[in-house]
Amino acid sequence: MLSAAKVLSSRNTLMMNKIPNPYSISAVFERDLYFGLQHPDVKRLQKLLNLDIDTRVADKGVGSPGEETDYFGERTQDAVGRLQLKYEIITTTDHPGCGRVGQQTRAKLKEIFDINFTSVVHSPLIRGLLGDPPPQSQCFNIYGDFRIDGWKKESLVRCDLFQFHSDLGHTVLGWDVSVKAFVHRDWFGFDCHKFVAPKFKAALEKVVERKLANRLKTFDGCIADPPRQMRGGSAWSMHSWGIAIDLNASLNAMGNQNFEMSEEVARCFEEEGFVWGGRWKGRFTDAMHFQYATVS
């Protein structure tokens, strides 16, 4: 008889497997796909379509995330049509190619879903790839395994903040205030996970647009190198994946319930989906901290 712990572990594994790891899905199709076809490529197509909420085959049941099939039915046809309209491959559902994965659509699928390339941050899909932040328990599944050789090269990118240079140039490193935080020899910004880079940039853009940049005094890190565990816990820190950022640490230390971090700044991040540690209670209060993963 399985122990309760093993049953729970098995259930968590099944739940995690419902969310496709984008690294494992090829976006290259060598043949056209169309209504009525039954082929393994159709299942791969459905998995890709399900990565974007705008093109999801189904929210539940056959064709939904984790329930993809080899059959190209009406739901798949409709999802392909929505993708074609979204990316202007067609302009109307009356188009004869609507819902069929032909040469143009195959090329577009590769362009928007092939995320293993250097310019991934600029992919038109990436802003909506994650949707809501995933649970912490799914970070290895979603963001990859930082313990594997090559993960850093494959997963980390520069969050380019050059357009905000004049507004954020005053921010210094929390552990060495003599150093400008985002200033580098040939670029301005910081390193983070490629899936979350657009989220960080969008949140900081709101900080600038809302005239809140002067509220940011210190940048206290994003990537934990080497990876580390959470303070006071055994789970891995979100900084190990480069999906969390710390700001104004000295006045917003963990456990400080009389923190300085403004709600207005926090709202800029929360509107982009970040979880703010200032909402946590008691000794877990961590107002310096913003992460793209929910507590689980």
The pair of structure tokens assigned to 116 is 């293993």
- Whether 281 has a pLDDT exceeding 70, the answer reads yes
Mean pLDDT, all residues of the chain: 85
- Residue 113's pLDDT is 73
Diameter of the chain measured on Cα atoms: 65
- Whether 22 has a pLDDT exceeding 70, the answer reads no
Q: How far is Cα 200 from Cα 262, in angstroms, rounded to an integer?
A: 17
Secondary structure of residue 203 in the 3-state scheme? helix
Average pLDDT of 256-263?
A: 93
Domain ranges of the chain: 18-114, 136-291
Q: How confident is the model at residue 18 (pLDDT cuts 50, 70, 90)?
A: very low
How many CB atoms are located within 10 Å of the residue 113 CB? 23
DSSP state of 192: E
Q: For residues 236 and 206, is the Cβ–Cβ distance under 8 A?
A: no
* CATH class in words for 136-291: alpha beta
| Fold that domain 18-114 belongs to in CATH | Muramoyl-pentapeptide Carboxypeptidase; domain 1 (1.10.101)
- Residue 142's pLDDT is 87
Paired sense of beta strands 176-180 and 172-173, if any? antiparallel
Residue 93 phi, psi dihedral angles, 5° rounding: -70, -10
Give per-residue pLDDT as tens, 27-46: 889 999 999 999 999 999 99
Higher-confidence residue of 228 and 24: namely: 228
Q: How far is Cα 120 from Cα 192, in angstroms, rounded to an integer?
A: 13
Q: How far is Cα 201 from Cα 121, in angstroms, rounded to an integer?
A: 11
Taking the alpha carbons at both ends of the chain, their separation in whole angstroms is: 27
Least confident range from 14-23, 80-89, 98-107: namely: 14-23
Average pLDDT of 270-281?
A: 95
Residue 147 phi, psi dihedral angles, 5° rounding: -85, -5
The pair of structure tokens assigned to 235 is 């789970």
Higher-confidence residue of 60 and 115: namely: 60
Q: How far is Cα 248 from Cα 250, in angstroms, rounded to an integer?
A: 6
Share of the chain above pLDDT 70, in %: 85
- Whether 114 has a pLDDT exceeding 70, the answer reads no
State the sign of the Cα–Cα–Cα–Cα dihedral 198, 150, 231, 11. Answer: positive
Give per-residue pLDDT as tens, 131-161: 678 999 889 988 989 998 889 988 898 999 9
Q: For residues 42 and 63, is the Cβ–Cβ distance under 8 A?
A: no
Cα–Cα distances (Å) from 6 to 11, 19, 188, 233, in that order, read 8, 21, 47, 21
